[in-house]
Amino acid sequence: MPAGGGAGAMPDAPFGRMLTAMVTPMTADGAVDYQGAASLAEYLVGDMRNDGLVLSGTTGESPTTTDAEKDRLLRAVIEAVGERAAVLAGVGTNDTAHTCELARQAERAGAAGLLVVTPYYSKPPQTGLAAHFTRVADATGLPVMLYDIPGRTGTPIATETLVSLGSHPRIVAVKDAKGDALASSWVLARTDLAYYCGDDPLNLPWLAIGAAGFVSVHGHLVGDRLHEMIDAYAAGDVRTALAIHRELLPVYTGMTRAQGVVTTKAALAMLGRPGGPVRLPLADATPAQIEQLREDLTAGGVKLR
């Protein structure tokens, strides 16, 4: 038996195990940098060992990109890496009809799947959430990953709602950023939904309760090491997986000192990779934030320019 004991068989992972929620690179004047997006996708798949990419999520600044920009971005990344990685489109909004239209647009562009966040701000009841997700899943033939992040949306997807939605043939996965191990464990015990950890500091603990993999922001910088963590855990080498988790603690700390898109784009600049500025109402990292982030990333073993 490998050092650390056996972790048991890993659950099925319909989109691969290591995915990064990709930023949307921008040019200096704030336009979407489609060539930069293709280049960043190549880096994430080739160097950072990502099995998949998620575009136009919150990390992709979806609230401030247009439908046309989302479509062109998706097509550029699929052309660059679509034969080597699953490219998912974030289509979630707080308008069901608009979400369905974005879903159909993503299907036409060739997306491998859809990420659908809980409708935000309006705080719908659970019956409304179930109807929303069902309507979106019925709008295309693509598999759907639900995104449960109540800290951003204001509304959790209740356990019973997730169990019910798990019976839909195209709702196959959950990106879980709720941070409730008990609730997630109950869903995992009662459905075949594949869980992807959506909160990087919890990546290893979520493997222990049955996660299939990660949808990571820190994968921009340490996707290869996160993939090593998954590989070690899957092989039963929990000791090595834990060692990687602890080595990455300074990265987790540094990347969460400020808003995630802000720190990610600042970090990409340190790597010489496409990222560019953020769009308002976000604001680029300050010199002090950049210096602190550089110290944190260096302590976590990230090789910067």
For 147-163, the pLDDT digits (tens) are 999 999 999 999 999 99
Provide the annotated active-site residues.
147, 175
Q: What is the 3-state secondary structure (H, E, C) of the chain?
A: CCCCCCCCCCCCCECECEEEECCCCECCCCCECHHHHHHHHHHHHHCCCCCEEEECCCCCCHHHCCHHHHHHHHHHHHHHHCCCCEEEEECCCCCHHHHHHHHHHHHHHCCCEEEEECCCCCCCCHHHHHHHHHHHHHHCCCCEEEEECHHHHCCCCCHHHHHHHCCCCCEEEEEECCCCHHHHHHHHHHCCCEEEECCHHHHHHHHHCCCCEEEECCHHHHHHHHHHHHHHHHCCCHHHHHHHHHHCHHHHHHHCCCCHHHHHHHHHHHHCCCCCCCCCCCCCCCHHHHHHHHHHHHHCCCCCC
What pLDDT was estimated at residue 175?
98
What pLDDT was estimated at residue 6?
45
What is the reported pTM? 0.95
Q: Are strands 113-117 and 144-148 parallel, antiparallel or unpaired?
A: parallel
**From first to last of its 305 residues, what are the pLDDT tens digits of the chain?**
234 444 557 999 999 999 999 999 999 999 999 999 999 999 999 999 999 999 999 999 999 999 999 999 999 999 999 999 999 999 999 999 999 999 999 999 999 999 999 999 999 999 999 999 999 999 999 999 999 999 999 999 999 999 999 999 999 999 999 999 999 999 999 999 999 999 999 999 999 999 999 999 999 999 999 999 999 999 999 999 999 999 999 999 999 999 999 999 999 999 999 999 999 999 999 999 999 999 999 999 999 98
For 187-226, the pLDDT digits (tens) are 999 999 999 999 999 999 999 999 999 999 999 999 999 9
What pLDDT was estimated at residue 8?
55
Q: Please say whether the beta carbons of 5 and 237 come within 8 A.
A: no
Closest CA to 48 of 214, 162, 187: 214
Closest CA to 229 of 209, 205, 251: 205
What pLDDT was estimated at residue 2?
34
What pLDDT was estimated at residue 305?
87
